[in-house]
């Protein structure tokens, strides 16, 4: 038996597609067969399986488990919950890997798979290998069963292990995503006063799209914080691995700003530690880490790439502009937005300042949101190569860790190819608007030289 995946579904960090168009039950079965085969060949026999609150998730889970079983792999089913709950299960249960069925922050008609192989990230070539194995029918045959394990209470308790935070008044927006039931359990165990929004899981996302990095999706949370005069608010994406936050005045605390807050208590405990952020993060963050005595490290965007770099550098903390935060300090090193929310309470308590004060003390920068523009898949990496070649010929100060990040006296600008979509991503930051305008002119001129223009963006 062989299987062909839709060419767009096997991505850099995960598998993702549109249900009934580019992803379906046959794909889920083939993923089970392929992943199960790799686990079996590595000497393993058990895999944890979880799924998010999307309408299509339960049927994909059935097919995935059948695929694992037909490859002789026993499935430990942890049921519906956020992606970090599956990561937790993979870390603490007697299993050799884990798969979460999730469409993350994509629209309701998408779904996908995030995988962990023997406690390490599974991405890039690993994912492509599932495709080549499927088309060759290169699968081991076997038979195995499954069991259901209810891990949610244990996971929630783990989020609060070592909790030393004070009582705050907090708003929580789960966006009808898979984090909702955990949020409801968590707020009952935390000190303080808590107000929750949209904690009932609904795969149609009737209230707003579950992507907290887009400011428009924080409108309900801002209204709640203002109405109840809360200390701050937190929001989660569809599968609970990305956090959004606002302070008591309704100002967004972006991913890099959260990292600046988290870094301070961590570096007090681990002086000189390496803290990693992706290429989209503010220069202010890297400066702050250095000022706190840490070693700032700029790395490529992508949760799997960051996790691998953390292992390599023994980093206790890392984060991305997109709201993925990875705590190895007192935790497991995976991205968990619920744990990040708990650590925000702890950080404000340890530092003895309100979240609003911590946000106010940050340097004022003028920056663009993440700007995205369509480019043909076959051109996206080539354009970046052309830009880098021209910049090097001009003697510009360029960091090419992931695309082109250029420092000038005004600030910096970034142009990189997305690994997950046929888009180029740009961002710029300066100390004032005039400087930002000059940086944007540089981006535009580089794009023009490669026959492109910035055009319409779809925001952050």
Q: Does residue 104 carry a catalytic annotation? A: yes
Mapped onto helix, strand or coil, the DSSP state of residue 223 is: helix
**Rounded alpha-carbon distances, angstroms, from residue 86 to 12, 90, 443:** 20, 6, 40
Find out whether 99 and 46 touch, Cβ atoms under 8 Å. no
Crossing angle for the helix pair 337-351 and 152-159, nearest 10 degrees?
20
Could you write out the DSSP letters of every residue in 57-89?
Answer: HHHHHHHHHHHHHHTT-EEEEEEE--HHHHHHH
The beta-strand segments (E) located in 365-422 are 366-367, 371-374, 397-399, 404-407, 411-417
- Percentage helix, strand, coil for the chain under 3-state DSSP, each rounded to 5: 40, 25, 40
Distance CA 220, CA 206 (A): 13
- Within 10 angstroms of residue 268's Cβ, the number of other Cβ atoms is 12
Spot the catalytic one: 56, 71, 104, 450: 104
Q: CA–CA separation, 336 vs 82, rounded Å?
A: 9
Q: For residues 174 and 221, give the distance between their C-alpha atoms in angstroms, rounded to a whole number.
A: 10
**Cα–Cα distance for residue pair 267/211, rounded to 1 Å:** 30
Catalytic sites, residue numbers:
104
């Amino acid at each position: 038996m062989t299987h062909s995946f839709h060419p767009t579904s096997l991505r850099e960090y995960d598998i993702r597609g549109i249900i009934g168009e580019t992803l379906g039950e046959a794909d889920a079965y083939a993923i089970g067969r392929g992943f199960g085969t790799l686990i079996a060949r590595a000497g393993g026999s058990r895999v944890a399986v979880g799924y998010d609150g999307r309408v299509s998730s339960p049927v994909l889970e059935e097919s995935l488990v059948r695929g694992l079983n037909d490859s002789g792999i026993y499935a430990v089913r942890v049921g519906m919950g956020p992606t970090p709950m599956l990561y937790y299960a993979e870390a603490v249960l007697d299993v050799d890997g884990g798969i979460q069925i999730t469409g993350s922050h994509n629209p309701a008609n998408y779904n996908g798979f995030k995988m962990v192989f023997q406690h390490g990230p599974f991405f890039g070539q690993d994912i492509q290998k599932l495709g080549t194995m499927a088309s060759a029918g290169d699968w081991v045959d076997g038979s195995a069963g499954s069991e259901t394990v209810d891990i949610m209470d244990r996971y929630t308790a783990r989020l609060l292990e070592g909790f030393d935070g004070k009582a705050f008044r907090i708003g929580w927006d789960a966006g009808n995503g898979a984090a909702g039931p955990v949020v409801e359990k968590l707020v009952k165990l935390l000190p303080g006063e808590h107000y929750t929004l949209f904690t009932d899981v609904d795969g149609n996302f009737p209230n707003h799209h579950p992507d907290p990095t887009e400011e428009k999706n924080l409108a309900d949370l801002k209204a709640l914080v203002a109405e109840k005069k809360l200390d701050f608010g937190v929001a989660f994406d569809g599968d609970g691995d990305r956090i959004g936050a606002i302070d008591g005045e309704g100002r967004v605390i972006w991913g890099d700003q959260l990292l600046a807050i988290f870094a301070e208590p961590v570096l007090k405990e681990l002086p000189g530690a390496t803290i990693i952020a992706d290429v989209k993060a503010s220069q202010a963050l890297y400066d702050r880490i250095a000022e706190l005595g840490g070693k700032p490290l700029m790395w490529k965007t992508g949760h799997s790439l960051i996790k691998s770099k953390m292992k390599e550098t023994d980093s206790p903390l890392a984060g991305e502009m997109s709201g993925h935060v990875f705590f190895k300090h007192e935790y497991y090193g995976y991205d968990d937005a619920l744990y990040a929310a708990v650590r925000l309470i702890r950080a404000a308590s340890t530092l003895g300042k309100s979240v609003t004060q911590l946000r106010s003390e940050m340097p004022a920068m003028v920056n663009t949101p993440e700007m995205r523009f369509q480019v043909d898949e076959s051109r996206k990496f080539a354009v970046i190569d052309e830009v880098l070649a021209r910049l090097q010929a001009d003697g510009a100060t360029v960091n090419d860790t992931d695309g082109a990040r250029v420092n000038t006296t005004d600030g910096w600008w970034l142009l990189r190819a997305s690994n997950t979509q046929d888009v180029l991503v740009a961002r710029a930051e300066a100390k004032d608007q005039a400087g930002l305008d000059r940086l944007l002119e540089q981006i535009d001129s580089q794009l023009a030289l490669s026959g492109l223009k910035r055009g319409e963006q779809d925001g952050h």
